[in-house]
Structures are given as C-alpha cells and as structure tokens.
Structure 1
Amino acid sequence: MRWVRDYKPEPEKGRLFRRALIITLAGNIVLAVTKAIAARLSGSAALFADAANSVSDVAYSVMMVLGLWMAQRPPDIGHPQGHSRFEPLVGLMVTFSMAFAGYEAARNSIERFVVGGETIQMGLPVFVLLFAAAVKAGMFGSIRSIAKKVDSPTLSTTAADNLSDVLTSAAAFVGILGSSLWPVLDPIAGIVVAVWIFRAVYNAGKENLKFLTGAGASEETRQQIVEVAEKVPGVLRVHHMMTDYVGPKLVIELHVNMDGAMTLSEAHLVSDEITRRLQELPDVDRAYVHIEPDGWEDEKP
C-alpha cells in the first residue's frame, strides 16, 4: 500500500529555482543597502520610502528561499500530499512585512509633507534611483523568464513586484526632480510609493489566501478542464468535478461516464490518458479520475 503521493524529482527545475533565489536575494540586498545610505545622506523622503520598499523585498527574498525550499521537499508520511502549501504560507508572512514597509514609508512621507518638505539636491539620489530602476528591470526580465520555465506563481509574483519597483523608483525620481520647484513634491512622491506598496500587499495577500484556504479554480479554468477531459477518446461526458488549490497548484477530482461494455483494462487506459492531459495544464498538479458507466451518475453532491 502506498502511503504518500507519487513524486518524481526534477533536478532542472530545482536548479532554476536556485538561480532565481540567488538573483532575487542578491539584487534586493544590494539595492536596500544602497538606497538606505543614499536616503540617509540626502534626506529624501521619496528615497527613504523606496529604501523601505527594498528592505521589505529583502525580507521577502529570505522568506521565499525558505518557503520554496520547504515546498520542493518530497512527500513524506507527515505530509503525504507534499509540502506545496508552505509556499503560500510564507508568501502570506511576507505580506505582513511588506505592509510594515508601506506604513513606514507613508508615515515618513506624511511627516515631511506636514512641515512643507524640503529641496533635495540633485546628484546621489538621482544616480541611486536610476541604478535601482536598471537593476530591477534586469531582475524582472530574468525572474519572469525563469517563472515561465518552472511554472511558478511565486516567481511570477516576484517578477511583477520587480516591475512595480521600477515604477516606484520612477515616482521617487520625479519627486526629487520636482522638489527644486516645489519642495512638497518629494514627500508626495514618497506617499505615491507607499500606495504602490499597499497595492502589492493587497494583491499578494489575496492570492496567497486563495492558495491556503483551498479555493477552487476559476470558471474559465473549470471549463478548460472539462473540455480537455471530454476530448479523450472513450469519454462520453464529465458529470461531476471538484477543484481546489493545495498550495499554488490545483488538485482535480473528476467523475466521467464511459461505455459500460469497456473492459477494466480499456477504461484504465482512458483514465490514465485523462490524468496525463490534465496534468499538462499549467495550473494543475494532479488529477483523480472516477470512472462510471454511461447512464449512471453518482448522487453525491
């Protein structure tokens, strides 16, 4: 008797995950240190807000390393379905870290806005922001490419966060440039950066809660699952389906009707083909197929 789900190691996938983690962690540490020093020297509220965002990115990176390491561990008797739920759990913890960074950025910017702001000298802040935007743009391209190869929603979210950081750096850049004409533009830009952080917090929290609470697939995905299954030769129709997220991937329970005159071996081959095709869908981890003869439907809900 098998007590845990089937598991096949994927060395290439593990290698790509490690590369993404190194890029993310190293890039965010460099940017956090650089921005913090520049914000301290220049006194820019916008740059301080951007530095707070980078500090939260470092925390996110560390959590992501731990979460993906746990999520990639094979199933065991304690976690027979695997450890994939560790990924969104860590993502939710990171969301709280991001929220604190947003609070700090907003608090600092509002305090400076109340006192009228101050003119920020050109030079170091501008150079740092342009450097940060260039680094984040490079990280976005690299992580997005890896995310597509390994089909990881966590890395896709990380890539999107990197793109968002390019935009927040641009907002801080505009604030520093405008502070020479109107000093409060710098703290206003800092508030804009804080808003971007809170927006990322909302999206990340919503996504990770969906994965943790066993939410079902979207209507579009459900229709796609039915279409894939019903195209398998031998399947007459799908009459019952349940989907839920176990971590960032879907588990499917499918009840299909077949010709009752099929042999057990023939029906088993059809069942295996359904499973194989469904597992080729990007959001699907595994599928369990229940076979029923035509004209008989399970009365269970």
Structure 2
Amino acid sequence: MRKYRYMRWIRDYKPQPEQQRLYRQALAITLAGNILLASTKALVAYLTGSVAIYSDAANSISDVVYSLMMVFGLWFAQRPPDLSHPQGHSRFEPLVGLFVTASMAYAGFEAARASIERFLAGGLAVRPDLPTFVLLFSAAVKVWMFFLIRNLAKRLASPTLATTAVDHLSDVLTSVAAFVGVLLSSLLHPLADPIAGMAVALWIFRAVLRAARENLGFLTGAGADEELRHKLVEVAESVPGVLRVHHLMSEYTGPQLVVDLHVNVNGQMTLNEAHQIADEVIERLEALPEVDRAYVHVEPEDHD
C-alpha cells in the first residue's frame, strides 16, 4: 500500500477507563436486576395462573434479552477506531437499540395475546397473597434501578442508558397495573386481571414507539434539535476572535453528534492566529456531552 505522509487514516482516539467502568456498572445493575425479576415473576405466574403476572413476566424476560444485547452493543460501540471503521463504532449502540425495541415489541404482543385469550375465556380470580408481594417487590427493585441508571446516564451522557432508565420507570407502572388487576380480580371481577394485562401491553407498546423513534434518528443521520443548535452557536461565538457563526451542520453518528461549522474571523490575522481560534472552538464544542467531534472552517469576516 502506498504511504501518504501526514495523512490520517483513522480518527484520533483517547481511551476513557472511567467511562468504561461506569458502563460496566450500569450493565451489571441492569442485567442482574432483570434476571432476578424475570425468574421470580415467571415462577409466580406459573404457580398462580395470573395473566397480569404473566404479562409482566414477559416484559421482564424481554428486559433480560435487551440487557444481554446492551452488553454486546455497548462493548462493541466503545471499541477504538480501526481501518474498517475509521470514525469509530458508536453507531452500533443505536443499532442494538433497534434489536432491543424488537424484543420489547414481542413482549408486548405476547402480553396482549395472553390477556385477550383470558378475557374471552371469562377471566380468572387470582388470590392476591403471593402475586401482591411479588409485584410490590418488583416495583421497589425497578424504582431502585431507575435512580441508579438515570444517574449513570447523566454522568455518561448516554441516550441508551437514559432510555433504559425510562424503561425501568415504565416497568414500575406496569407492575402497579398488574397489582391492581390481581387485587380487583379477587375483590371485584375476574375480568380485571386480563384488563390489567392489556394495560401492561399498552405500556410496552408505548415504550417501543419511543425507543424506535429515538434509535432510528441516531442511525439515519438526524440533526440536533433547535435548542441544542442554539447552544452550539453560543459556545462557538464565546471564543475570543470569533465574530459570528454563519454555517452549522450537525449529524448523529451514533448517540453523539458530529458538528461541522464555519466561523467568521478578522481576515487580516495570520494563519497561525486563525488556526488557534479554530482549535479553541473545537475544544469547547467537544467538551459538550452531546458532541463526539467537531470540524471548524475559518473564513474572513465578509464571507457568507
């Protein structure tokens, strides 16, 4: 292969051991918690025959599947750039997110199917003793997981972990719905159990739509929203020597943005001075948690 002096084939990469440690912590919490809840709910659903518990167990089993896929996806997404992926592997994170969305959709379908069958059969009164304890335990565990993962998502600026935290919070609501169904099936009417199961399914489908929309945006090159665009311009124009920003392009290449902007500076300054300004703009933009990397073009003040 020909040698091109001074040409870079692969983007610069700096390992971040603290970031990797936090990701491992988040994955361990998510995987361990979901396995515990899925196995507990599946056993109770088998022993009691509650379709609401069954629906909630299906949701927890899908959570285990996406937890395993997250382990692989986030591990691969953090691999350093190489010749096959010179800009890095960050797009694998939202790609795995779509597979996670598919597993959630299947759980919603399974929950809805079981609930409809039980509703057409006239329902079943479920004793509220063991199911009640399991659902309250599940809600408590998910609240704990929600706060832990949300904190890690903020520290890492990870949309995948932020979505996972929201999923944990949704699971709290589905467990509450299942709890109400179990309780009312015994106190009010047997059909309350499958009705609660359908409520669980609807919560799952709602989470599916939100996750699909977000991950498709990351994969298809969606840009920053208006608020973030204004923030990027403000950061660039805060650099001494920058007169204004007259061009801005942003694109998600994974969960973070690539930013390309043109800034106007005094056309009489030296090339070294203009280069220093560009470096300062890049440094400040890349310090933002939403930005992966930035490219800055310097142009004279009268150029549009």
User: Where in structure 2 are there 5+ consecutive unaligned residues?
Assistant: 1-6
Instruction: Answer yes or no: is 1:220 the counterpart of 2:227.
Output: yes
Equivalence for 2:3: none
In the alignment, is residue 253 of structure 1 matched against residue 272 of structure 2?
no
Q: Offset at 1:281?
A: 2.1
Which runs of structure 2 are paired with 1:179-198 in the superposition (5 Å)? 179-180=185-186, 181-198=188-205
Using the TM superposition, give the Cα deviation of residue 280 of structure 1 relative to its aligned residue in structure 2, in angstroms. 2.2
Specify which of 197, 204, 207 is matched with residue 211 of structure 2. Answer: 204
Distance 1:120 1:198 in 2: 25
Task: Name the CA distance, whole Å, in 2 between partners of 1:85 and 1:12.
Answer: 21
**Cα-to-partner distance string for 1:39-64 (whole Å, 9 max, x where unaligned):** 01111111000000001000110010
Question: Tell me, what secondary structure is at the counterpart of 2:118?
Answer: helix
1:65 Cα shift? 0.4
Indicate the SS of the match to 1:74. coil
Could you tell me the TM-score, scaled by structure 1's length?
0.97
The equivalent residue for 1:295 is 302
Task: Give 2:108's aligned residue.
Answer: 102
2:92: which partner in 1?
86
User: Unmatched 5+ residue regions in structure 1?
Assistant: none
Match of 1:158 in 2: 164
Mapping of residues 1-301 of structure 1, within 5 Å: 1-180=7-186, 181-297=188-304
What is the rounded CA distance, in whole Å, between the counterparts of 2:163 and 2:128 in structure 1? 33
RMSD (Å) for aligned C-alpha atoms: 0.8
Q: What's the CA shift for 1:285?
A: 0.8
3-state SS of paired residue (2:245): strand
Determine helix, strand or coil for the equivalent of 1:4.
coil
Shift in Å at residue 294 of structure 1? Answer: 1.3
Aligned partner letter, 1:107: R
For the residue of structure 1 that corresponds to 2:249, the secondary structure is strand
Larger deviation, residues 224-233 vs 37-46: 224-233
Residue identity (%): 68
Count of aligned pairs: 297
Q: Post-superposition shift, 1:219?
A: 1.2
Per the TM alignment, residue 164 of structure 1 is displaced from its structure 2 partner at its CA by 0.6
Structure 1 runs of 4+ aligned residues shifted over 4 Å read none
Distance 1:280 1:178 in 2: 53
* Aligned AA (2:227): E
Tell me the CA shift for residue 105 of structure 1. 0.1
Distance 2:259 2:155 in 1: 23
Residue 282 of structure 1: how far off its partner (Å) = 2.3
- Cα displacement string for residues 141-197 of structure 1 (whole angstroms, at most 9, x for unaligned residues): 111111111111111111110011011000000110101111111100000000000
Which sits farther off after the overlay, 60-69 or 274-283?
274-283
- In the alignment, the residues of structure 2 paired with residue 38 and residue 120 of structure 1 have an alpha-carbon distance, to the nearest angstrom, of 11
2:287 and 2:163 map into 1 onto residues whose CA distance is 21
Residue by residue over 1:15-36, the C-alpha shift from the partner in whole angstroms, topping out at 9 and shown as x without a partner, is: 1100111111111011111100
TM-score, structure 2 length as denominator? 0.96
